[in-house]
Amino acid sequence: MKTTISLSSITLVAEGERSQNLCKALSETFPQQSEKISKLFNSSVLGVELQISKKRKSRSRPQENYYRKWEREFAKHCGLTQDEMHTELLCRAFGSEEVETRLGLKVRPTKRSSKISLSEYSELIETLIIIAAEMGFAIPPPPTPEQYEDYANG
């Protein structure tokens, strides 16, 4: 078994009998997924790779739905695409860097939303609300946890 370790994760590679033992243990631990687990292991001729990492508290689905809804509306107001608005907000919330490419100079955010914490995602939402207000576009304050249900399904 090959093992790669970092401070935040560990990667295990299991082959042969160890792979079969791992399949059995995972199937017993996650019985609702046992059929998919078995299919994956049975189709893995070279063995399997398992990465274990610390669970991070990240944004909730309702929190993201709230952000995406108002990001989209504000982007329309500004004449931008939703992706352009998202990049702009990331740059303003977390800073940016200029990168020389073959197509010229590009500005990129220093953080991506997929890699930020729950509190940083809240900061991104606050940035959206503040910038929109400065431009005369009113965004309602984020809902309370009880009100987030309205945003839970998009």
pLDDT digits (tens, 9 = 90+) for 49-60: 887 766 655 567
30 shares its domain with 86 = no
Query: Percentage of residues in the chain with pLDDT exceeding 90?
Result: 43
If one counts the domains in the chain, the total is: 2
Contact 48, 40 (CB under 8 A): yes
pLDDT at position 138: 96
Query: What does each C-alpha distance from 106 to 90, 99, 102 come to in angstroms?
Result: 14, 5, 10
71 shares its domain with 118 = yes
Residue 17 has pLDDT above 90, yes or no: no
Cβ-based neighbours of 87, under 8 Å, separated by 6 or more: 108, 109
45 shares its domain with 65 = no
Least confident residue range of 28-32, 62-66, 112-116, 150-154? 150-154
12 shares its domain with 30 = yes
What distance in Å separates the CA atoms of residue 145 and residue 66, rounded to the nearest whole number? Answer: 12
Q: What is the span of the domain harbouring residue 80?
A: 61-151
Given CA atoms 116, 118, 122, 128 in this order, what sign does their dihedral have? positive
